[in-house]
Structure 1
Amino acid sequence: MTWRDNYRQASFRGVPFFVADASLDTGRRAAVHEYALRDTPFVEDVGRKAREFTLSGYVVGTDYFAARDALIEACEKSGPGELIHPYRGALTVSCTSSRFTEGRDNGGMCEFSLTFVESGQQRYPSALTDYGVKVAAASRIIKAAAVDDFVGRMVVGGVPQFVRDAAANEMEKLADILAGLSIPGAASEDMASLARDVAVFVQAIGKLSADPALLAETVVSVIEKLRTTFGGGVKVLSVLDAIIALSPDSAVAGTATRAQARENGKATVDLIRYTALSEKAVAMQAIEYATYNDAIEAREAFSDQVDVLSESAGDNVFGALMDLRTVVVEAVPTADRNLPRLRSVQLAESIPAVVLAYRLYDDLSRIEEIVSRNAVRNPAFLPSDRALEVLTDG
C-alpha cells in the first residue's frame, strides 16, 4: 500500500477543500529553571505540547465564492470540529487562525492558510465513593449498637446458674457451626488457625457468660476472624448465612427467672446474628459478581435477612440495620460496575454452540461460556426444548 492509497480528501466540518502543503508543529513542553552560579539549567518536562496543524490550500471554480464562504463559516464556528487531514486522517481540532487571500492574477480561486490545534474534552475533578470504606463504617456502627443492646439486656448477677447458662447454650450453637465448617480452597494453615480460636472460645464460654461485655467482644472478634481469615467474598457467605439463621431456644417462661433466661438466650442470638450480618455486608461488597443478576439476587437476599432481624430489634439497632441495608443497596453492585446481564434464548431448532456464539457475540471464544452455563452435554447440539441462559453486555 502506497501513500496515495492513504491520501484523503481534506475537509473541515464537512466543507471540502484542496491542500497544497501541510505542516505539523509538535514537541514537548518544558519549564527551564536557571539557578544562580550554575552554568547549566534544569529542564523540567511538563508534558507533550499541543499538536498544531497548518494547512495551506485553496478552493477553485467558477463559483468558488460558495466554497470559500462555507469554509470561512466553518472556521469561525465555536467549539472543536472534525478535520479530515489528507495525510493524518480524522482529527478533532479547533481552528485558531485562518487567513484567506484572493487576487486579480488568480481569478476563480481563493488561497488560504488554516491553523488547527488538537482539541480534547474538558475534564473536571469528580468524586468517587469508596463503597468498601462506606460498608465497613456501617458494619462497625451496627456491631457497636449490637454490643450495647446485648450488654443492656443481659442479666447475670443475682440470678440462678441456669439463667447465666442460657447465654452459654446459645454460644455453643455458634461454636458448633464454626467447628464444623469447611471452606473450599482455604489454606490448611488458615483453617488450623481458626480451629484453634474456636477451641479457645469453646473452653471459655462458661466464664464469658458471666461477663456480658467481654462475651460480646469475644463474639464479635470470632466472627470477624472468620471473614478476615478467608478474605471475605463467596468463601464465607454460606457460613455467615448459617449463623444468621440461628434461632434462640423457645423455652416457656413460667417465672421471672425463666423469662430472664429466655431473654439472655435471645439477646445472645441477636448479638451473634447482627454481627454475622454486618460481616456479610463487608464480604458481599468485596465479591466480583459474574453478572448483574447475581449481584441483585445477593442484594435482595440480604435485604430479606435485614427485614427478619429488624422485626424485634431495639431502636438503635433498627436504625443501624436500615443504614446498613441502604449502603449495601448502593454498593452491590455499584453504579460504575458495568456487569453483563442474563437473558433467555429459545432456539427454534437444535444448533451447535459455535453457531449461537457467532450469532450472539461474533466471538467463538464464548462457546465454553454458553455450554457450561447451560450444562450442555454435547456442544454440537444445543437443546431447543428449553430456554438457554446467555449473557449480554452490561
Structure 2
Amino acid sequence: MAEPALSGIRLSANALASQLFAIAGLVPAALGGFVASAFRLAGQPSTVLDAALTSAAGALGDLVALRESVRLPPAARDAVSPAFAAATLALGNLAADPAGYGDAVARAAIALADAADPATLTESLVSLGPPVDAAPAQVSQGTALVIAANAGHGVALTAAVRALALGEALGYRSYRDRGEAITARAQAAAVFDDALARIGRPGLDLARELAAMKGVVAELTARLEADIAPLITVSAGRRLPSLVWAHALYDDPSRAEDLARRARAFHPAFMPERFEAFAA
C-alpha cells in the first residue's frame, strides 16, 4: 500500500513546540561531544589548562549574566539553581570530563529557558549582541596556538549555549501581532547562524541539532504568525472611548482594554484619532 503524501500537512503549533523540545533534549549530549572533541586538554601544560578553563567558563558566565538580566522571580530562580550548580561543579572537572561540562552547561541553558519569560530572554540576548571573538595567537607556534584555538572553541560554546536557550524559550512564546513574530524569527535566525558559523568540524553533531532547532523555530514562529489576525488602521475625526471601538470593531466590550493598550492611549476614554487594531 502506498504511503500517504505528507507534504501538504501542516503541523500544529503545539506539535512543532513538542518537536522543538525533543530536539533541545538531544543538544546536551551533542554539546558535550563538541567540548570533548574541540578542546585540546590531554597532556597539555598547566598554562594551557588554565586558559582553557577560563575560555570554557565564559559560556557559563554568559549564561549567569543572562539569568540576571531576565530577573527571574524567587521561585523560578530556585528552580534553576541546581542546574547552574551542577554546571559550576562540572566546570571544575573540565580537564577530566570535558563532555560532562558541555552537557551540564547545556542543561543549565534549558532550565533557564524553561523558567524565564521568552520575550524577556529574547530581548536580553539581542541586547547582549554576538559573543566577542577570541583574540588570535600572539605567537604562531606551540602552546600559544593551542590556547588561541581553545579560546575560539570557548566562544563557539557560548554561542551554541545561547542558541539552545533561545530555541527552548521560543517553544513557549506567543506573539501580540505579526510584526512581533517576524522580528522574533529574524532575531532567532541571527543567533543560530552565529553559533553555526563558529562551531566548525569538531561539532558536526552539535551543528546538526542546532540547525534542526533553527528550522523548527522558524516554522513554529511562521505558524503562530499565520494564526494572528492582521492589523488594520482605524481612524475617526475625534477621540472616542475604547469601549465604543470594542463594540464597533468586535461587538465585544471585553476587548476595550486591549485596544487602549495597543493604541497607547493615555486613558481608555480617549483613544487616538488614528491607531492600529486587530482585524475582527
Q: Same fold (TM over 0.5)?
A: yes
Q: How far apart, CA to CA, are the structure 1 residues paired with 2:134 and 2:23?
A: 29
The residue that corresponds to 2:54 in the other structure is 169
Say which one has the larger Rg.
1
Alignment of 1:228-377 (within 5 A): 228=114, 230=115, 233-234=118-119, 236-238=121-123, 245-256=130-141, 257-314=143-200, 316=204, 317-334=206-223, 338-377=227-266
Go from structure 1 to structure 2 and tell me whether the alpha carbon gap of 1:322 and 1:336 turns closer, same or farther (over 3 Å shift): same
1:89 alignment counterpart: none
CA contact (8 A) 1:232 1:282 kept: no
Change (3 A) 1:160 1:299: same
Q: Aligned Cα RMSD in Å?
A: 3.4
Counterpart mapping for 1:1-394 below 5 A: 130-173=15-58, 174-175=60-61, 177-178=63-64, 181=68, 183=70, 186=73, 188-195=74-81, 197-198=83-84, 201-202=87-88, 205-228=91-114, 230=115, 233-234=118-119, 236-238=121-123, 245-256=130-141, 257-314=143-200, 316=204, 317-334=206-223, 338-384=227-273, 387-393=274-280
User: Aligned pair count?
Assistant: 264
- Going from structure 1 to structure 2, the CA distance change for 1:177 and 1:321 (only over 3 Å counts) comes to closer
Amino acid at match of 1:350: R
Give the conservation status (yes or no) of the 8 Å contact 1:181–1:239. Answer: no
> How far off its partner does 1:233 sit?
3.8
Q: Distance in 2 between matches of 1:232 and 1:381?
A: 31
Question: What CA deviation, in whole Å up to 9, does each residue of 1:178-226 have, x standing for no partner?
Answer: 266165563x244235346545644663432453222212222322232
Counterparts in 2 of 1:341 and 1:164: CA distance versus 1, 3 Å: farther
Q: Displacement, 1:235?
A: 5.9
What percent identity do the matched residue pairs reach? 22
What per-residue deviation string (whole Å, max 9, x for no partner) do you get for residues 33-64 of structure 1? xxxxxxxxxxxxxxxxxxxxxxxxxxxxxxxx
Q: Which structure has more helix as a fraction of its residues?
A: 2
Normalised TM-score (structure 1): 0.56
CA deviations over 1:290-341 (Å, ceiling 9, x no partner): 3343333212211122222233332524444332222222222537973233
CA distance in structure 1 between the aligned counterparts of 2:225 and 2:134, rounded to whole angstroms: 44
Unaligned runs of 5+ in 1: 1-125
Contact 1:357-1:366 at 8 Å conserved across structures:
yes
Gap runs ≥5 in structure 2: 1-8
- Report the Cα distance in structure 2 between the residues aligned to 1:204 and 1:149, rounded to whole angstroms: 15
**Structure 2: how far apart are the matches of 1:222 and 1:244?**
20
Contact 1:281–1:328 at 8 Å: present in 2 too?
Answer: yes
Structure-2 separation of matches of 1:199 and 1:376: 46
8 Å CA contact retained: 1:299, 1:332: yes
Q: Displacement, 1:151?
A: 1.9
Distance 1:245 1:278 in 2: 14
